[in-house]
Structure 1
Amino acid sequence: MAFTLRITFSGMCLFVPEPTTPGGSTGRMRVLMPGMPGHHHHGGADRHVPVLSYDAGYLVQGGPLLGVPALAKFTGQEITPVAGNAANTHLCGHIVDLKQVTGRPVDPDHLGADTKKRLVGRVNLGAGGITRVAPGVCWEWRANEFRAIAHRVEWEIPDVQGDSLTLAGEPIGGGGTARALGTLYPSGGLISLEVLHEPVQDVIDPVPEHHQTPPMRGETAPHFTAFYSLFGGPVPVVLPRFWGPLEDAPPVSDPCAVLPPAMGSLPYTCLVGGA
């Protein structure tokens, strides 16, 4: 029996391709979740948590989906849903490439045992590829350079073999004890997960209109600076500045397919990036 695994990433997630050969198109995709200002302090305004979410109905073989989310924090841990080196490592144009700003790749320490402790979570993807994104709103990237920047990314792994998927969190720094995150059973040939790296209040109350108002034009995305801590030293910094609704952004070259608007929460503060 085989099924499709769909993972939707939301919030401060940096997609880092690791092709098996230089310049290659397949390998692994690492999704890095940087520590945020205040994340060590309970109640800090910018504290983010990495959370795995799925319908509780997936926990029962042959049972119906319930519309009730099961949530599991994996702070300090990494998840490898499907191991391998066959992932499509292409990043489409909706995902801003920070290596073009920094001039250097992500510090390799964050792709192995994170001894520098800059990450609060990581997901390793060994198969599948990006299918759709939520393109968000229009940002001014560099001066007079306007673009959409995705804030949700959907990843699909087709033809996963077996009749269940057992998930565990492994310590990013090595050693320690794995944490069971659930054994899930497909429904209608699909298991759908969400990986969130968002402020605590947004995880608890995921309806965006409850706590999201458009920023003033020119305001920067407040959490974006955390990505630049992953490049191993001082680097140039470019921050997206809010410009207006998505309709104000020019067409994206090499676009991804687009998620329906109802599936695209939190477009103003927590964006994704690539490197």
Structure 2
Amino acid sequence: MAFTLRMTFSGLCLFAPEPAGRGNVRGATGRMHVLMPGMFGHEHGTDRHVPVLSYDAGYLAQGGSLLGIPALAKLTGLTLAPVAGQEASLALCGHIVDLKEITNRPVDPDHLGADTKKKLVSRVTLGGGGITRVAPGACWEWRPGEFRPIANKVEWEIRDVQGDRLELVGEALGGGGAPKPLGTLYPVNGRINLDVLHDTGEDLLADPMAMDHSAPPMPGESPRHFSAYYGVFGGPVPIVLPKYWGALSDAPQIANGCEVIPPDMGTKIYNCLVASVSA
């Protein structure tokens, strides 16, 4: 028996590929790490972000049906690898900005293993599948004069997961400690859907899966929390922050773009944008 696992990431989530390979040969597959950086200096205020795993409570019963009631598990201090392996596609579509173009360096490799430097609050490691769709959000000015959409939500799909259940277990980010069970889930109609959210407590309480009816920023304003990404590179790096320009309809077509998540599926499009750092 096999099923499809679909994971949707939103909030401050940094996609960092780790290619598999032997010697100096690095392939197009490997593991994809989704890093959730800490908001250092703002751990207890309104800027504090909480990493949360959410899924329909109906998945908890074998042979059950979806209930429309979310079950939540806090991911703070944990790393989660729902499917092991090194067969994940490392392709990153053009809707996701690549911070390596700005920093000219990869993330500190410490953050792909035991995070002894404690720069992360959580991490999800994906051993199979690949990006399928994104929510392209709004029109932003990235580098001066470069106007583009920037994804704020990413969908990842792993097909043909073997077995009749999914055991979710969190491991300590820094290594050691007892594993933390996060739920045993059973497919419904051959699928399990998970949401990984890394948002402020205010946004989580306001249901980040709902449509965003908040007022857009003023042109030229930057997302408040985007700078947190630059703390995971292991040293001083140049910083570029997106500046809001306008609605998505103002953005030009982008090369190598992903398929788009329908806008009626909801998402927060102004505060926490997704980013990547190529290998």
Instruction: Give TM-score scaled by structure 2 length.
Output: 0.95
Structure 1 counterpart SS, 2:97: coil
Structure 2 contact 211–266 (Cα < 8 Å) conserved: no
Gaps of 5+ in 1: none
What residue is the counterpart of 2:237 in the other structure?
Answer: 235
Provide the rounded CA distance (Å) in 1 between the counterparts of 2:212 and 2:9: 20
Aligned amino acid, residue 250 of structure 2: D
List aligned pairs for 1:164-243, cutoff 5 A: 164-206=165-207, 212-243=214-245
What residue is the counterpart of 2:120 in the other structure?
Answer: 119
| Residues 210/4 of structure 1: CA separation in 2 closer, same or farther (3 Å cut) | closer
Aligned amino acid, residue 7 of structure 1: M
| Residues 246/23 of structure 1: CA separation in 2 closer, same or farther (3 Å cut) | farther
List aligned pairs for 1:88-107, cutoff 5 A: 88-107=89-108
Matched, 1:33 2:36: yes
What residue is the counterpart of 2:55 in the other structure?
Answer: 54
Gaps of 5+ in 2: none
Provide the rounded CA distance (Å) in 1 between the counterparts of 2:91 and 2:50: 27
Aligned amino acid, residue 254 of structure 2: V
| Residues 209/54 of structure 1: CA separation in 2 closer, same or farther (3 Å cut) | closer
| Residues 68/146 of structure 1: CA separation in 2 closer, same or farther (3 Å cut) | same
What residue is the counterpart of 1:260 in the other structure?
Answer: 262
What residue is the counterpart of 1:76 in the other structure?
Answer: 77
Identity between Structure 1 and Structure 2 (%): 65
- CA shift, 1:177, in A, is 1.5
Structure 1 contact 135–258 (Cα < 8 Å) conserved: yes
Structure 2 contact 138–246 (Cα < 8 Å) conserved: yes
How many residues align structurally?
Answer: 273
Provide the rounded CA distance (Å) in 2 between the counterparts of 1:177 and 1:217: 48
Structure 2 counterpart SS, 1:255: coil
Structure 1 contact 38–45 (Cα < 8 Å) conserved: no
List aligned pairs for 1:2-41, cutoff 5 A: 2-21=2-21, 22-41=25-44
Structure 2 counterpart SS, 1:139: strand
Provide the rounded CA distance (Å) in 2 between the counterparts of 1:46 and 1:195: 18
Structure 1 counterpart SS, 2:231: helix
Alignment root-mean-square deviation, CA: 1.2
1:18-48 superposed Cα distances (whole Å, 9 cap, x missing partner): 111355210000000000145532xx11011
What residue is the counterpart of 1:137 in the other structure?
Answer: 138
Provide the rounded CA distance (Å) in 1 between the counterparts of 2:260 and 2:87: 24
Provide the rounded CA distance (Å) in 2 between the counterparts of 1:104 and 1:88: 21
- CA shift, 1:142, in A, is 1.0
| Residues 23/250 of structure 1: CA separation in 2 closer, same or farther (3 Å cut) | farther
Structure 1 contact 13–32 (Cα < 8 Å) conserved: yes
- CA shift, 1:211, in A, is 6.9
User: Which of 210-219 and 225-234 deviates more?
Assistant: 210-219
Aligned amino acid, residue 243 of structure 1: W
Structure 1 counterpart SS, 2:196: strand
- CA shift, 1:130, in A, is 0.3
